[in-house]
């Protein structure tokens, strides 16, 4: 357990962040940027944006997956935990983001992987519960204490505005602390990459 070891530097946990929106001005992407700034020293947040370019999942391609799918799986494997922030489209998870998850159901990168899902809108309750259900079905280690909805006063806030908002910063801090606490409780070796 590297965190209690005295004879080498303590590396942070590697947290892969996935925004479920491809919009340039996405509130969920901004929320993850703000989280990266606020993260405690033991968490290193690393965004992964390549999922938007994945083709439609087709079970017939098992064993002949496109390179982007293999890169996505490798990025998930290399992470100690995953932090998702996803919007809601038409009462559901954005299809393109769910499509990325569909590519890793069979390959198993989410099995026992600590995952938290935060959410930038109080109205997105259908998608949030549906996403948590899908993650649980994939046997992810869903960290509910770190999975919370951050109510935004408007959907026009960028990362700087979120950092300047005490309520948002406090909610993010709470989620990050809960995620870190969970990882420490598992006695994970730090940085398995």
Residues near a copy of itself (CB under 8 A): 21-24, 52-54, 56-60, 89-102, 105, 126, 130, 133-134, 136-138
Residue ranges with strand state E in the chain: 13-19, 43-47, 81-85, 114-118, 141-142
Task: Give whichever of 93 and 175 is closer to a copy of itself, judged by the CB atom.
Answer: 93
Cβ nearer to a copy of itself, comparing 80 with 88:
88
In the complex, least distance from residue 34 CB atom to a copy of itself, rounded to whole angstroms: 21
DSSP string, 64-75: S--HHHHHHHHH
Residue 152 in tokens: 């935004």
CA 86 to chain CA centroid, nearest Å: 9
Q: Are 54 and 72 in contact (CB under 8 A)?
A: yes
What's the Cα-to-Cα distance from 38 to each of 65, 114, 139, 145, 175, rounded to whole Å?
Answer: 36, 19, 28, 17, 11
Give dist(CA 145, CA 117) in Å, integer.
10
- Residue 114 CB, shortest distance to a copy of itself, in Å, is 18
Closest distance of CB 21 from a copy of itself, Å: 8
Q: Cβ of residue 78: shortest distance to a copy of itself, in angstroms?
A: 22
Cβ proximity to a copy of itself, 14 vs 98, nearer residue: 98
Closer to a copy of itself by Cβ: residue 14 or 113? 113
CB of 28 to a copy of itself, least distance (A): 12
Nearer to a copy of itself, 17 or 26 (CB): 26
């Amino acid at each position: 357990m590297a965190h209690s070891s005295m004879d080498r530097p303590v590396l942070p946990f590697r947290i892969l962040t996935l925004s479920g929106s491809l919009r340039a001005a996405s509130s969920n992407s901004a929320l993850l940027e703000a989280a990266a700034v606020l993260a405690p020293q033991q968490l290193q947040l690393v965004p992964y944006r390549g999922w938007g370019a994945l083709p439609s999942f087709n079970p017939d391609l098992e064993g002949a997956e496109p390179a982007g799918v293999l890169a996505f799986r490798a990025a998930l494997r290399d992470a100690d935990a995953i932090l998702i922030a996803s919007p809601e489209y038409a009462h559901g998870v954005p299809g393109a983001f769910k499509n990325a998850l569909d590519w890793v159901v069979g390959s198993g990168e989410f099995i026992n992987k600590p995952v938290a899902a935060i959410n930038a809108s109080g109205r997105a309750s259908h998608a949030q519960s549906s996403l948590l259900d899908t993650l649980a079905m994939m046997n992810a280690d869903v960290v509910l204490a770190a999975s919370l909805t951050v109510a935004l006063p408007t959907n026009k806030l960028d990362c700087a505005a979120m950092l300047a908002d005490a309520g948002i910063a406090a909610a993010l801090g709470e989620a990050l602390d809960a995620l870190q606490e969970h990882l420490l409780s598992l006695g994970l070796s730090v940085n398995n990459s």
